[in-house]
Amino acid sequence: MIPVRGVEGARIGVLGLGRSGLSAARALRAGGAEPVCWDDNPEARERAEAEGFEVADLSHPRAFETIASLIVSPGIPHLYPSPNKVVAAAQEAGVPVDNDIGLFFRSLALPEWDNFDLAPRVIAVTGSNGKSTTSALIHHLLLEAGKSVQLAGNIGRGVLDLDPPENGGIVVLELSSYQTDLARALTPDVAVFTNFSPDHLDRHAGLGGYFAAKRRLFAEGGPDRAIIGVDEPEGRYLAGQLSEGPTDDRVIRVSVERKLSGPGWSVGARKGFLSEYRKGRQVASIDLRNVPGLPGAHNHQNACAAYAACRTLGLAPRIIEQGFASFAGLPHRSQRIAEKDGVIFVNDSKATNVDSALKALQAFDNIRWICGGLEKEGGLAALAPALSHVRKAYVIGREAAQFALQLEGVEAEICTEMAQAVQSAMAEAEAGDVVLLAPAAASFDQYDNFEKRGEDFMAEVRSRL
């Protein structure tokens, strides 16, 4: 645990008692604070009480008379589409609002670091797609290289549950826009921006607000190194904002769509080969085509970002290449789960928006595509460039018929339920086909989360093998 610093004797409100909220309450208590916890869910309140925390309704009109600050869990809106009533009450009372990420950054450094040979470092990863895979891959590469490294944030453990890093230790954080938007402190040593596409627009009042939330990771604390995916205008803008000029190697540009030129530091992947360039010269190359845990151009982009992050820490290209080969990938993200009679089954339930589904479709040919769910804003037109890879779509979800109507030129079967989609796809699949779950939609019309949806897909496939 990382005790929160500078809170001794203060009463601190904690709103939301899931993983990050309870973790924050424990770390606040360890730092000498008096957490006052609240969650609308009675079961969550009972869990907090069982750990000895004070539980009080923070929406009470006088709740903030003795509260010094409020710590808010990521799923709770603090501004758009409208602030939670407790957050609004805190703001009305002039009480600062923060989250566990802000507490982490302000509490991480300790006096004993002065005696370390190498101060611990933090790598923070954000972006629209690929954050989890990039974060997990960086963690894996550093572990394989023998480094002391921990993974947390939007993946793995809560940030305040981490052990205080030791001499030369590294912390890898995956950070969502919900987390970067509210944190009062953001000071990573290395910050990574994978890519950008529309998502969470209601929470950020549009595309500009969503980008602004991502940009805070780079603008607030000024990382020593910034690794920026520049295949979208937002990434190119961000790289330009951070760089002092073409030769400024504090900014490492990443692309999988074009060959980057110029005297700066860049990492790109084209036709399955990763290349690193510095001062106009190629200094390394890695063949990614046969790395089983990183299929497709979108995973090659993740590999480039992870490679660049590890290079900033001094890892040699050959060490990184060895780590790539042993990376198994993450559950529900281009996860190869089975193969039978020449048919491959891939679970990409994490493809909850059109952009991530597009990249999944572009990674394979001869696809039996299981798709559908709670459709997000913008429609499905952006999938058009990859629909030629699809032999047939098997559409699930409560609005399956409406979803299928948007798949112009693709044969589609309205299945509604996962069991029917898997049964039909497996019955019609031939050798060389890929049965791919890449929904291009959220899961909440039928499942609690994308993990449950992916688990259902895997269970249906395996029950029929």
- 127 assigned binding-site residue: yes
How many Å apart are CA 17 and CA 39, to the nearest integer?
6
Asked if residue 81 has a cis previous peptide bond (ω within 30° of 0), the answer is yes
Secondary structure (DSSP) of 1-24: --PPSS-TT-EEEEE--SHHHHHH
- 131 assigned binding-site residue: yes
- 130 assigned binding-site residue: yes
* Cα distance from N-terminal residue to C-terminal residue, the chain: 44
Q: How many CB atoms lie within 10 A of CB 49?
A: 13
Q: How many CB atoms lie within 10 A of CB 292?
A: 11
- 133 assigned binding-site residue: yes
How many Å apart are CA 24 and CA 39, to the nearest integer?
14
Q: Which residue intervals of 330-399 are DSSP H helices? A: 354-362
In the chain, the amino acid numbered 53 is F
- 132 assigned binding-site residue: yes
How many Å apart are CA 100 and CA 318, to the nearest integer?
36
Secondary structure (DSSP) of 358-369: HHHHHT-SSEEE
Q: Residues 6 or more apart from 115 whose CB is under 8 A from it? A: none
Q: Residue 14's beta-bridge partner residues? A: 37, 71
Q: In 3-state terms, what secondary structure has residue 229?
A: strand
In the chain, the amino acid numbered 240 is G
Tell me the C-alpha to C-alpha distance, in Å, between residue 118 and each of 163, 170, 224, 226, 266.
Answer: 17, 10, 15, 20, 26
Residues placed in the known binding site: 127-133
Residues placed in the known binding site for ATP: 127-133
